[in-house]
A and B are shown apart, each in its own frame.
Chain A
């Protein structure tokens, strides 16, 4: 059987149809690897061995009976713990939901179940998706598979580490301001933040509803396209979701890709960039130039205001979204006794079970929404959001796609930024603007993991596309991988 580190969704599908292996064998191989490797990496919060074996066996039976199965049938996936899979824990890496078991499937999980994928388990994350390093998890630290002393990025760090560590063939994460793309970059895998509304948010434990999107993390751009196509589309349970035409996303046309002009926004190539990031991103640009794609310098003048606008408006949504967590509706642990008085339940539960970052954001959100400050902070930040979006509208009249670094640095050391929230916030400076504008963006590694020297850290570059134009960025990405 194909070793797990060489396996892609496409190769898995072909091997399954050629009877090189069964879906159950591959699922078992992933669990074997999780058991030997996840102790040191810490990607998973919970495993679903029994249901995964049932799901895989059902695919093997279908194939034995000669049924047609789709590209994703039997594909073993890891799911971020903020996404609900019925009957499995969904803790969002918070003490608040430590004992909560999901009572329904998220919209994306319903779609994947109809494709007969296999769900290996739920992955670690920053509590309620708040962070860029996965160090804010209430339960454990996840280590970067390329260097165990470093963070995997966040907040979808477990999902990226599971794929990079060959402990899942693909995974789902969620991205509010970079939470799929940053861990993809730090772990040397591919991560797509879809256009806002392309993928249902039903069953995603909400952090910032106007920005959150679920997206795939995979080893190749082609795999990301396969997984994205399967989860995209309108869901009646999410009024902001809509259908778009992604029919040709798996079959990008070379002539079209070659006719693109890629913009390089000057605000993203700044002095503070880590030398390794500069060098790798420059090399990626040269490779694409050799391909015949034209480049053009452009400007997105409001870029520097994106982070402040986010950190003054996001907490407002956080304070509303997290108001429901109070030990009145969600699981209380065995033997755990609630106080008798209602007010005591609220204050004690929320004081003790929310982590420091969640509390910081709830208090800040309460502040920016309070009388006398609303206009100065919340309303102001939302007007700035319009300016950030207009910057993109303007440059997309001139260029088809933008190319930028994903983060100013490669994976940083565990513990390096955790005590200084502000420095952690600035990790998101290049990823956040796409969320504010509602457009799509993908992070892909400048070179395949197999080409990294011993001890060399992976670096990602970002392709930002127009709304509903995932085919453009994934198309360029698919050809970039072929070049490599």
Chain B
């Protein structure tokens, strides 16, 4: 396993994450990420072959409900008051620049 992040890889990751990295930031970011990954290599030595992954914090399984407002939806979380936060809106809809040009 190659744990290193080089300049090219960092630029690719930043592109995937939709983050513009300023030229001055790159070097420090690269160094920090290298340090973090290097320090945490000690996990490699630990045998976890038969250990199941723990993805959530809860022991609960399969909590179902009907997808309906009366089953718990708080009002005005999205339409309504939420619209006020949109940088641009039209008729209660979020106005965004064209996705395909």
Residues of A whose CB lies within 8 Å of any CB of B are 86, 100-101, 103-105, 196-197, 202, 210-211, 235-237, 239-240, 242, 302, 304-305, 307-309, 311-312, 319, 326-332, 338, 340-343, 345-348, 350-352, 354, 356, 359-360, 362-364, 366-367, 370, 373, 376, 379-387, 389, 421-422, 425, 435-436, 438, 467
**Provided the pairs A326-B18, A350-B17, A363-B14 are in contact, do residues A332 and B87 lie with their beta carbons within 8 angstroms?**
yes
- Of the candidates A196, A326, A328, A386, the one whose C-beta lies within 8 Å of that of B57 is A196
Number of A-B contacts (CB under 8 A): 175
Cβ contacts under 8 Å, A86 to chain B: 81
- Asked if A101 contacts B84 (CB within 8 A), the reply is yes
Cβ contacts under 8 Å, B9 to chain A: 367
Q: How large is the interface on B (under 10, 10 to 19, 20 to 34, 35 or more residues)?
A: 35 or more
B38-50 CB mask vs A (1 if < 8 Å, else 0) is: 0110111010100
Chain B minimum-CB-distance residue to A365? B17
Chain B minimum-CB-distance residue to A315? B36
- Of the candidates B96, B98, B101, the one whose C-beta lies within 8 Å of that of A328 is B96
- Of the candidates A100, A346, A350, A383, the one whose C-beta lies within 8 Å of that of B48 is A383
Cβ contacts under 8 Å, A385 to chain B: 53-54
Q: Is the interface of A mostly helix, strand, loop or mixed?
A: helix
**Provided the pairs A196-B58, A327-B87, A347-B20 are in contact, do residues A367 and B13 lie with their beta carbons within 8 angstroms?**
yes
- Of the candidates A326, A331, A350, the one whose C-beta lies within 8 Å of that of B20 is A350
- Of the candidates A100, A240, A319, A382, the one whose C-beta lies within 8 Å of that of B53 is A382
Q: Which of B52-101 contact A (CB under 8 A)?
A: 52-60, 63, 65, 71-77, 80-82, 84-87, 94, 96-99, 101
- Asked if A305 contacts B42 (CB within 8 A), the reply is yes
Give bound CA distance, A236 to B56, whole Å: 18
Cβ contacts under 8 Å, A362 to chain B: 17, 19
Cβ contacts under 8 Å, B29 to chain A: 356, 359-360, 363
- Of the candidates A235, A328, A347, A382, the one whose C-beta lies within 8 Å of that of B87 is A328
Give bound CA distance, A422 to B35, whole Å: 8
Give bound CA distance, A380 to B48, whole Å: 7
**Provided the pairs A329-B94, A362-B19, A367-B5 are in contact, do residues A308 and B52 lie with their beta carbons within 8 angstroms?**
no
**What's the minimum C-beta distance from B100 to chain A, rounded to whole angstroms?**
9
Beyond the given pairs A103-B85, A387-B46, 9 more chain A to chain B contacts, judged by CB atoms under 8 angstroms and listed by A's residue number, are A101-B84, A101-B85, A308-B42, A329-B86, A338-B87, A370-B16, A379-B53, A421-B32, A438-B57
